Amino acid sequence: MESPFSGLVVPMITPFDSSGRPDPERALRFGSDLLSNGVNGLALFGTTSEGQSLSASERMELLDAMIAGGIKPANLMVGTGSCALPDAVAMTKHVVDHQCGGILLLPPYFYKAIADEGIFQFVAELIEQVGDPELRIYLYHIPPVAQVGFSIDLVARLRERFPQQIVGVKNSSGSHDYSISLRERCPGMEAFCGSEDYLLDTMRIGGVGCISATGNANPRGIIELCRNVDAANAEELQEGISAIRAVFQARPMIPALKAVIARCYSDPLWLNVRPPLQRITEDKTEILLSELAAQDFLPESILFSS
């Protein structure tokens, strides 16, 4: 099965309605707008999606609604990570039954001092219990948040044992050296960086793209670099998207992204986040937008067509 993912895959933020529930209508519109702007895939229910703040049933219901609304399952990389193996298995089966392009799998992250063997057993049991040859897993390596990760040795072992199921890694470690080691040990693996700061470096070592939070707000800029990694101005394009990311990264990322999307759509419900996150205030939103404007980034005019 050929992977549908390359270039920019957006870990889509999750809209919540006035009662705090996931909002299928807004999610469908936003996902459709991202794809129409050249995004090659949507990663649902990861960090930026507030995935670990959603119940298993909420994730599956929102996935169902987006597919029913016309989003092609092949364009979806769906987060099914959970500390509870039965929940991870149930969600993964649901995703595979929909014939989605892949799953994005966190390691079981609650217990911190875990040997690679324990994580290997978790992933192996998930694969065996799902029992579907169409399962495609992208390992989500994010030790700065989860504090538990997929070591290169572990990835290589999983890849050797399950070569058809373990197909890629999202490297959100903040270290490009991890991607270099991954490409050396597992040359057939699809390597995605978790920040566009590393996009050019990742593509130059044979990586396939990035799965980046700021793809929600700056898809066109990131896609432009994906398509021009060999161009004379590639370094300049990299500097430009990194400068925009720095503005978002200087504050809580998810509320800041939602503030920009709320302004883009003129829709204050996009400001909603689920506790423990808190929405950004109006005064801080104006500062954010002014800093973005200083980078010639104007969400009202360049993000999406109305």
Share of the chain above pLDDT 70, in %: 96
Average pLDDT, the chain: 94
Sequence-distant (6+) residues with CB within 8 A of 86 are: none
Say if CB 254 and CB 11 are below 8 A apart.
no
pLDDT-derived band at 4 (thresholds 50, 70, 90) equals: confident
Provide the pLDDT for residue 3.
Answer: 61
Query: What structural domains does the chain harbor?
Result: 7-233 (3.20.20.70)
- In this prediction the pTM is 0.94
Is the model's pLDDT at 231 over the cut of 60?
yes
C-alpha separations of 27 from 31, 52, 63, 65, 71 in Å: 6, 17, 10, 9, 10
pLDDT in tens, 236-248: 999 999 999 999 9
Provide the pLDDT for residue 304.
Answer: 54
Tokens of 123: 């992933």
Residue 10 forms beta bridges with which residues?
A: 42
Mean pLDDT computed over 271-282? 96
User: For residue 224, how many other CB atoms are within 10 A of its CB?
Assistant: 18
Radius of gyration of the chain from its Cα atoms, rounded to whole angstroms: 18
pLDDT in tens, 89-134: 999 999 999 999 999 999 999 999 899 999 999 999 999 999 999 9
